[in-house]
Chain A
Amino acid sequence: MQSHFDVVVIGGGHAGCEAAAAAARMGATTCLMTQSATTIGAMSCNPAIGGLGKGQLVREIDALDGLMGRMADAAGIQFRVLNRSKGPAVRGPRAQIDRKLYRNAMQRELANYNNLTLLEAEVVGLSERNGSVASVTLSNGQIVSTSAVVITTGTFLRGMIHIGAETIPAGRMGEGPSVGLAKSLETFGFVLGRLKTGTPPRLDGNTIDWSALQVQPGDDVPEPFSTLTERILTTQIPCHVTRTTSRGHDIIHQNMHRAAIHTGAISGRGPRYCPSIEDKVVRFADRDTHQVFLEPEGLDDNTIYPNGISTSLPIDVQTAFVRTMPGLEHVRFIKPGYAIEYDFVEPRQLKLSLETKALPGLFLAGQINGTTGYEEAAAQGLVAGLNAANFAKGKAPVMFSRAAAYLGVMIDDLVTRGVSEPYRMFTSRAEYRLSLRADNADQRLTPFGIETGCVGTARQVAWQKKSADLSDSLKRLKELQLSPNEAGKLGFIVNKDGVRRTGFELLARSEINYEMLASVWPDLRDVSARIAEQVEIEAKYAVYLDRQNADVELFKRDEALNIPVDCDFAAIPSLSTEVRSKLLQIRPTNMGWAGRIEGMTPVALSILAGYVRQRHSTKPSDKAAQCG
């Protein structure tokens, strides 16, 4: 084996796969190290990818030539765009995934990836030289030299599984935790916290009475995640829906004292947004039923994932409770549900590039940063991988702003505000939601990706074609015009004000769609459905997008007010102790970022701005390539 790699990625989950692939695409010699190569690309919790906010992340990963979108397209067995009845900015593509197909696709992809070596090994420690990461130590004592390390160990850092009163040290069911690495991080001075998450029991589909259940079909025409996927080729199957019952809630109430979360065994905080069933029956005491989706784990797999009932109750209680649900009266468990507690690294110890402040060359991505979800992990992995490669080559880091991408919103939230519970992406976290859509992720990010060097030839070609088609289409629509009289004759109701309206302006109206315009101007039909849809979205949102763009300009103005990296926050007079300690901890590099720090008051901000102006004139802070 090689004795030196530009980048070492520790962990083969969603963050690790994207990090390794991104670093390799950037031309860095990369080694992905995992305890077991067969678990690369494993989906440890729900068999689904995408969703609201999360679907946007998958499209952004795809726009930067990441893997998750293409792998999901190859393994998706039910595609559904969520919120389809609502506006395009809040729609989220989602798919049920065949676990085995996904894992296989990912392993195949990585096995043949240029510049990438896969290694089965447990990393037990890191070491530094001259203040920067230098090597990793494997459990067999071998030392591998490297210029940059990305740690993506998910829930493995001091992982501890809880089922009722039973506790099992594990990173995932049946796999050992990483203890050595956690200790190594502590020796570098990192502050670790504790979080928990949970997973429901897995059910045997052959023991479910399907005839009693409501069917939930996917979309008629499955919409792929990746712009490189023409269409979905896998067999599509439906999901089913059941519900909890008051009898089941009673069983939980009677046994609440036996749930791990209530015995005091767990100290970590769980996600409010993805509560366990025992949390739900307490928090929504007035509801006697909750919806439960029965999601297939694969085409040739009888395992069923009951989405909505993650639990840490003892197995006997889990079984009794689950069997109160319609269709599940005689169900057999394949695996019990459990809660898992794990260490995470307080993410305010990271830079926007996901490099740690304490140890240059060390990058962290995924659940180790306090997030939850495959998509959140993968998106961070991609950013960490790009920057690890750049670090190894002595190049400036790349960063994504809140105005450019959901992944920018997420990373900014993490490094600015930290986390108090597992962080999950939502559309409402993005203040520029109307412009950060799933449908325009490539427009927002692919050109930047090409410039950065992480986009391969196939996507570059596809993007150039789409980009040209889209701008031609918009240009044509803005040239075609109708007078009020002409419009009236065609059945479009507009004011008789003598003003000629362009096709684009007509399309902005809620009652007019692209097809109606195409019946007036048949030439409009010669574009693909994707282009037509996007043109229509741009038109419908035009007025709001103009206003949001004005906000984005203001946002960028503040982001451009650099705070030098060597700014002595401790020396600024008249700041409260609280504000000063936050500034020292987070070390924002621009005024916009400083303004988002919790507890930052408007007055403190203007004092800071005054100090920076006075002391540092206009010296640029940190050379970096910024998207958006």
Chain B
Amino acid sequence: MDTIYALSSGIGRVAVAVVRVTGPSSGDVLRSFTLQLPQERVATLRTLRDPSTGRIIDKALVLWFPGPNSFTGEDIVEFQVHGGLAVIQAVFSSLQLLGCRPAKPGEFTQRAFANGKIGLTEIEGLADLIEAETEAQRDVAIRLTLGALQTRVLSWRTDLIAMLALIESNIDFVEEGDVPALILGDILSRVSKLRSEFETCLRDGESGKKLRDGFKIAIAGAPNAGKSTLLNAFANRDVAIVSDIPGTTRDVLEVHLDIKGLPITFIDTAGLRESVDPIEVEGIRRAREQFSGADLILCLSPINLDRGDSDPIFSDSRSLLVRTKADLTKNTGHGDLVVSAKTGAGFEELLNKIYELAHNMLLTREPPLLNRDRHLDCVRRATKHLSSFTTDTTLPIEIMAEQLMRTTRELESLIGLVNVDDVLDDLFSRFCIGK
């Protein structure tokens, strides 16, 4: 097993840089730099010397985490050196001289996983945590990282295995007496409880997925209805090309925003109108595609014109009518939301409305446990295996066992006990080096 190292802090001129080393020769590595090992798990100030020349490299804080009680489960050494490039370079060259090699992206986590120190969903949580942009996303990610989903799945699995043991003993040992009797009603009620827990998780998981991807708002309307202007106003910066010539926004633009801790993605779309320009027609087709995946569609209509709700999207259940360009008229809009990007009028009200809708959809009573398609797919399939129990109560005992076993397999693949190959490749490739 190689001993590997990585710069775990950011790159560039920083005050302190963290270099981590993991693997069987970590202890020897540390001794080569500092002669003796410091006390375990206590930050100790030491002079680092070049192992081959004995010259001083730096004065640094060193930490010694002998395995298996470490992040990777192997011996780990952490150097907190001064952040200069030359210092880091000197440490790296010495490490290479000592037979260590640079870590590949995600390799520290991969070792932690291989050594059973961290579960698959915890790694996914870690990936989410590193990418979290808003408070709500961080909240879900940290729960995953701390093993909330893993723990829940393991407890479901324990229950399933207990049921299976009961059923299997009634198949294989029933002739020998001495086995607890199988009470069908008991199994059915345990299965139905499990199933309803799965279903709750799936419902919350839809929110979890939205929370991870962001609440999607598509901005729709006729050309020059003020869509891009509105987007710019939200973003407080110029992101879309805004002009007074109708049909300027021909492609789709996305802006990710944090509104009071919720991740919101605004999507600007091409103006909706009959057109013969092939480029504009394609833009409109893409706009409609965006509508289908949106959680909310802001339908803009300038207040000085007709409402423009001839387009079917205006009557979609996800649509919210917004009258724009309030500065052009004294018309109050008769109860519609009215905004002006120019004066800022009505903006606060619109933001509140968006927050309220997003909040209702994203935030569940408890933070969701599932937040990826992979999670939802596993639990959906697991639910399906259990569904035969309630619809067909005369299920033969060996088929019950079959279905419970399949359910168990799905849960095991959810937490990476089986079939992890495809997931792992994808996951670790997204990790940064030194994690």
| Residues of A bordering B, CB below 8 Å | 51-53, 82-83, 86-87, 89-90, 273, 280, 284, 287, 290-291, 308, 426-428, 431, 433-434, 510, 544, 548, 573-576, 601-606, 609
- Docked Cα-Cα span, A263 to B173, in Å, equals 29
Q: How far is the CA of A280 from the CA of B173 in the complex (A)?
A: 14
A52 touches B175 (CB 8 A): yes
- How many Å lie between the Cα of A82 and that of B418 in the bound state? 34
Q: Taking the nearest CB of chain B, how far is it from the CB of A159, in angstroms?
A: 26
Which single residue of chain B is at the shortest CB-CB distance from A428?
B168
List, sorted by A's number, 11 A–B pairs whose CB atoms are closer than 8 Å: A52-B171, A52-B175, A83-B174, A290-B178, A426-B168, A510-B394, A544-B399, A548-B402, A573-B2, A602-B416, A606-B421
User: Which B388-435 residues have a C-beta within 8 angstroms of A?
Assistant: 394, 396-399, 401-402, 405, 416-421, 424
The residue from B173, B397, B416, B424 contacting A87, defined by CB atoms under 8 A apart? B397
* CB of B158 closer than 8 Å to a CB of A: no
B181 to chain A, nearest CB (A): 13
Q: Does B108 contact A (CB under 8 A)?
A: no
Whether A576 pairs with B171 at a CB distance below 8 angstroms is no
Contacts of B424 on A, CB cut-off 8 Å?
Answer: 602-603, 606
B116 interfacial by beta-carbon distance below 8 Å: yes
Is B115 on the interface with A (CB-CB < 8 A)? yes
Interchain nearest-CB distance for B18 vs A (Å): 23
- Return chain A residues, CB-CB under 8 Å to B175: 51-52, 82-83
Q: Find out whether the CB atom of A434 lies under 8 angstroms from the CB atom of B420.
A: no
How far, in whole Å, are A89 and B173 apart by their CA atoms in the complex? Answer: 15
Residues of B within 8 A of A427 (CB): 171-172, 398
**In the complex, are the beta carbons of B113 and A426 less than 8 A apart?**
no
Q: Is B10 an interface residue (CB 8 A)?
A: no
> For the complex, would chain B's binding face be called helix, strand, loop or mixed by DSSP majority?
helix
Let me know if B176 is at the binding interface, CB within 8 A.
Answer: yes
Q: How far is the CA of A544 from the CA of B402 in the complex (A)?
A: 9
Closest Cβ of chain B to A493, distance in Å, is: 15
- B116 partner residues in chain A, CB cutoff 8 A: 601
Residues on the A chain within 8 Å of B398, using CB: 86-87, 89-90, 427, 433-434
CA distance A603 to B423 in the complex (A): 11
List of A residues within 8 angstroms of B172 by Cβ: 52-53, 90, 426-428
A86 touches B114 (CB 8 A): no
CA gap between A544 and B2 in the complex, in Å: 46
Q: Are B178 and A574 in contact (CB under 8 A)?
A: no
Question: A573, B1: Cβ atoms under 8 Å?
Answer: yes
- With a cutoff of 8 Å between Cβ atoms, the chain A residues found around residue B1 in the complex are 573-576
Complex CA distance for A548 and B405, rounded to whole angstroms: 12
- Name the CB-closest residue of B to A605: B421
Q: When the two chains form their complex, are residues A603 and B420 in contact, meaning their CB atoms are under 8 A apart?
A: yes
* Interfacial chain A residues near B176, Cβ < 8 Å: 291, 308
Closest CB of chain A to B76's CB: distance in Å?
A: 16
The reply to whether B178 and A86 form a contact with Cβ atoms under 8 Å apart is no
Which single residue of chain A is at the shortest CB-CB distance from B110? A603
Contacts of B397 in A (CB 8 A): 86-87, 90
Q: How far is the CA of A2 from the CA of B168 in the complex (A)?
A: 51
- Cα distance A172–B176 when bound, in Å? 25
User: Smallest CB-CB separation from B394: which chain A residue?
Assistant: A510
User: B residues bordering A, Cβ < 8 Å?
Assistant: 1-2, 110-111, 113-116, 168, 171-178, 394, 396-399, 401-402, 405, 416-421, 424
Q: How far is the CB of B180 from chain A (nearest CB, A)?
A: 10
**CB of B400 to closest CB in A, whole Å:** 10
Q: A308-B176, A602-B421 are in contact. List 9 more A-B contacts (CB 8 A).
A: A52-B171, A87-B398, A89-B398, A90-B171, A273-B173, A290-B177, A573-B2, A574-B2, A601-B113
How far does the alpha carbon of A515 sit from the alpha carbon of B175 in the complex, in Å? 30
CA of A290 to CA of B179, assembled, Å: 11
Cα A602 to Cα B418 with chains together (Å): 7
Q: How far is the CA of A83 from the CA of B182 in the complex (A)?
A: 14
A86 with B113: in contact, given A280-B178, A290-B177 (CB under 8 Å)?
no
The CA of A51 and the CA of B178, in the complex, are separated in Å by 17
A280→B176 CA distance, assembly (Å): 12
Binding site secondary structure of chain A: loop
Contact of A576 among B115, B396, B399, B402 (CB under 8 A): B115
Distance between A401 CB and nearest chain B CB, rounded to angstroms: 19
Q: How far is the CB of B345 from chain A (nearest CB, A)?
A: 58
* Chain B neighbourhood of A426, CB < 8 A: 168, 172
Chain A residues with CB under 8 Å of B416's CB are: 602
Tell me, in angstroms, the Cα distance from A308 to B176 when the chains sit together.
8
Query: Closest CB-CB distance, B92 to chain A, in whole Å?
Result: 21
A434 touching B174, Cβ below 8 Å: no
Minimum CB–CB distance for A182 against chain B, Å: 32
Of B114, B173, B397, B421, chain A has the most CB atoms within 10 Å of the CB of B114
A434-B173 Cα distance, complex, nearest whole Å: 18
Closest 3 CB pairs of A and B: A603-B114, A291-B177, A602-B420
Q: Check B421 against A86 for contact (C-beta < 8 Å).
A: no
Does B417 contact A602, Cβ atoms closer than 8 Å?
yes
Q: How far is the CA of A38 from the CA of B333 in the complex (A)?
A: 108
Measured CB to CB, the nearest residue on chain A to B172 is A426
- Within the assembled complex, what's the spacing in Å between the Cα atoms of A544 and B405? 13
Q: Which of A287, A428, A434, A575 contacts B178 (CB 8 A)?
A: A287
CB contacts (< 8 Å) of A431 on chain B: these are 405
Given A51-B175, A280-B178, A291-B177, answer yes or no on A604-B114 (Cβ-Cβ < 8 Å).
yes
**A36 → chain B closest CB, angstroms:** 32
Residue of A nearest to B114 (CB): A603
A175 CB → nearest B CB, Å: 29
Instruction: Tell me the smallest distance from the CB of A393 to a CB of chain B, in Å.
Output: 39
CB distance from A375 to the nearest CB of B (A): 14
Name which of B115, B402, B416, B424 has the most chain A CB atoms within 10 A of its CB: B402
- Cβ contacts under 8 Å, B399 to chain A: 87, 544
Complex CA distance for A606 and B420, rounded to whole angstroms: 9
Q: Are B396 and A86 in contact (CB under 8 A)?
A: yes
The CA of A87 and the CA of B395, in the complex, are separated in Å by 10
Interface centre among A89, A605, A609 (most CB of B within 10 A): A89
State the CA gap A291–B175 with chains docked (Å): 10
Compute how far the CA of A273 lies from the CA of B398 in the bound complex, rounded to whole angstroms.
20
Q: Chain B residues near A434 (CB, 8 Å)?
A: 398, 402
B130 to chain A, nearest CB (A): 20
CA distance A308 to B173 in the complex (A): 12
**Residue of chain A at shortest CB distance from B413:** A602
Chain A residue numbers with a CB within 8 Å of B405 are 431
A604 to B113, CA, bound (A): 10
For A274, give the chain B residue with the smallest CB separation. B176
A515–B168 Cα gap in the complex (Å)? 31
The residue on B at minimum CB distance from A243 is: B177
Most buried by B among A428, A574, A609: A428
CB distance from B96 to the nearest CB of A (A): 17
| Inter-chain contacts of B178 with A (CB < 8 A) | 280, 284, 287, 290-291
| In the complex, residue of chain B having the shortest beta-carbon distance to the beta carbon of A289 | B177
Min CB gap B99→A, angstroms: 13
Which residues of B sit under 8 angstroms from A602, Cβ to Cβ? 416-421, 424
Q: How far is the CA of A89 from the CA of B168 in the complex (A)?
A: 13
A288 to B113, CA, bound (A): 48
- A287 contacts across to B, CB distance below 8 A: 178
Chain B residues with CB below 8 A from A291, complex form: 176-178
| Residues in A neighbouring B177, C-beta threshold 8 A | 290-291, 308
B173 smallest CB distance to A (angstroms): 8
Complex contacts, A284 vs chain B, CB 8 Å: 178
Docked complex Cα distance between A89 and B405 (Å): 16
Of A51, A82, A308, A603, the contact of B113 (CB 8 Å cutoff) = A603
A87 to B168, CA, bound (A): 13
Alpha-carbon distance between A87 and B176 when the two chains are bound, in angstroms: 18
**What CA separation (Å) do A51 and B175 show in the bound complex?**
9
- Expressed in whole angstroms, the Cα–Cα distance for A284 and B169 within the complex equals 15
Report Cα–Cα, A201/B177, bound state, in Å. 20
Q: With A87-B396, A510-B394 in contact, is A601–B402 under 8 Å at CB?
A: no
- Among B114, B172, B424, the most chain A Cβ lie within 10 Å of the Cβ of B172
> In whole angstroms, what is the CA distance A603 to B418 when docked?
10
Distance (whole angstroms) from the CB of A265 to the closest CB of chain B: 26
